[in-house]
Amino acid sequence: MVAPAVSPDSAPDPSTESTAAPESTARSATPEERAPRWHVLVRLLVAAAAGVLLYLSGPPRVLWWLALIAFAVLGWMIRDRRARAGFGYSLCFGLGYLVPLLAWTGEFVGLVAWLPLAFAEALLVALSGAAISVVSVLRGWPVWAALLWVAGEALRSVFPFGGFPWGNIAFTQPEGVYLPLAAVAGTPLIAFAVTLTGFGLTALVRRLTHGERTARRLLTPVLAVLLPVAAAFGALPLVGTDANDGEATVALVQGNVPRAGLDFNAQRRAVLDNHVDRTVRLAEDVAAGREQQPDLVIWPENSSDIDPFRNPDARAGIDRAATAIGAPIAVGSVLVGDDGLPRNAILLWDPDRGPVSQYTKRQLQPFGETMPWRPFFRLFTSAVDRAGRFVPGDEPTVFDMGGDTGRARVGLATCYEVAFDGVVRESVEGANLLAVPTNNATFGYTEMTYQQLAMDRVRAVEHGREVAVAATSGVSAFVRPDGSISQRTGLFTDAALVERVPLRSTTTLSDRLGSSPEWVLTILGLGALAAAVVVRRRRAST
């Protein structure tokens, strides 16, 4: 990272400059302006280290509280700075967070995806940081700063490349005290609570170190730290786990792949055979009384990359598995349309009637299923042509898959889709169980699968549903409606999980509110930004 030509600290904030002397009077350099250049480099490194702390707060580690420290440090770095200083420090913070977080994206098309994507996302984080620096002149600035962080996440959820919300703060918190807030207003409220606590810590420490230790001066930062935590505990009664729409016995089949890595797609037949064979073995266990008879079975995304409508052998294999287990199977398949282009689909396969319904993935993964700006990126590497040319679906689908004491109506969010608030919200409408078929084999032993499982846990609480995660090579899991995991598999092993799960039709407050909390928080943050700009200009003109 090259230090800017003008130090972020070298230009004092207009809100902190003395206005006692006339403009024509020369002023002495401030201590910050006299500071050696290496001080700036240290600050940049500290900001990047805070971003690394935010990365370390997420899965597979159980260090959720590091996120609070990360935002406290960021707040310390950009409080009372000019916008460009806030931009520079926040850019380093974003890089410290996103470069390691998104390392898995490089497994498929190399550095051309990983580093540009991380840098683009970090630039958007830097915009939020610049805005936060501006509003830090306002009273109660931790509130406005947290609102602007939510506004930044809203932007990153739609831009670039159709949005990339993978780094949303809520997904670092499946083990944290803030998780129940998902049932109130989804991921934006968790982000607001975490950042408000962190920035509140900044304000509290600043006042203590400046000798402002009266109850009146400490009240606001103390409330900023404690109220989000209190709200999270207050939301606990809204997290339901009861089976208010019956129960169903669900099987997750993880057939595994012959080898990890980029040649996964060359192993299509072996992957399909693995899932057929593992389902048949499960049927044998059921017949021997070693396992419960499932009411429905979930196979992973890409479990049949061979189109069963075009390949009789693939169709016969799936038929054999469904007949053996005696239950409908949700089969992840790649279908080829009349235009010759592939669709990432989930087929509802009935043991008697064969395929009876279909869901086509709507939110496709850039740099994997699609390649944004393909001609441009091809200038740097031919690896871009490893990415697919998939065609997205256009509507959610709920599978009616039977059940024991109730009918399982299964909503579907395929792999990458689980990161998107709106896509999952649409998927659970009319569903009493959420299935997440996923394929992480391409990404090997990276942290991608654990990051995605954290999202599944947040979605379980947000929508009050059991989440059944079926992965080709792991991690497959049953996630309870309170976000806890009842069963899970390891990576790159074949397995079958069977569990009696609750079916729930309760609509959470988060579902009823929809996207409105994010809009309200964003508008409030932008309003505060506009007010802060006016305040700064008035101070600068006096």
Q: Which residues are catalytic?
A: 301, 361, 415
Across the beta sheet with 296-298, what order do the strands follow? 354-360, 342-350, 329-336, 296-298, 247-254, 495-502
Q: Tell me how far apart the alpha carbons of residues 292 and 288 are, in angstroms, rounded to a whole number.
A: 10
By C-alpha distance, which of 310, 318, 316 is closest to 343?
310
**Are the beta carbons of 487 and 508 closer than 8 angstroms?**
no
The angle at the Cα of 482, spanning 480 to 483, to the nearest 5 degrees, equals: 70
Q: Tell me how far apart the alpha carbons of residues 165 and 150 are, in angstroms, rounded to a whole number.
A: 12
Q: Tell me how far apart the alpha carbons of residues 163 and 151 are, in angstroms, rounded to a whole number.
A: 14
By C-alpha distance, which of 460, 450, 519, 425 is closest to 62?
450
Residues 6+ apart with CB under 8 A from 122: 91, 94, 95, 97, 98, 99
**Are the beta carbons of 328 and 296 closer than 8 angstroms?**
yes
Tokens encoding 46 = 């500290």
Instruction: Look at the alpha carbons of 240, 512, 187, 363 in this order and tell me if their dihedral is positive or negative.
Output: positive
Q: Tell me how far apart the alpha carbons of residues 196 and 72 are, in angstroms, rounded to a whole number.
A: 9
**Are the beta carbons of 426 and 416 closer than 8 angstroms?**
no
- DSSP annotation of 105: G
Q: Tell me how far apart the alpha carbons of residues 154 and 444 are, in angstroms, rounded to a whole number.
A: 30
Residues 6+ apart with CB under 8 A from 266: none
Instruction: Look at the alpha carbons of 96, 101, 102, 104 in this order and tell me if their dihedral is positive or negative.
Output: positive
Beta bridge partners of 437: 470
Q: Tell me how far apart the alpha carbons of residues 238 and 461 are, in angstroms, rounded to a whole number.
A: 9
HSE-CB at 186 with a 13 A cutoff on CA atoms is 26
Neighbours of 372 (CB within 10 A): 15
Indicate the angle between helix axes 83-101 and 111-135, nearest 10 degrees: 150
Q: Spell 345-370 as b/e; 16+ CB within 10 A means b.
A: bbbbbbbeeebebbbbbbbbbbbbbb
Tokens encoding 287 = 């017949």
By C-alpha distance, which of 302, 319, 314, 312 is closest to 356?
319
By C-alpha distance, which of 527, 424, 461, 69 is closest to 238?
461
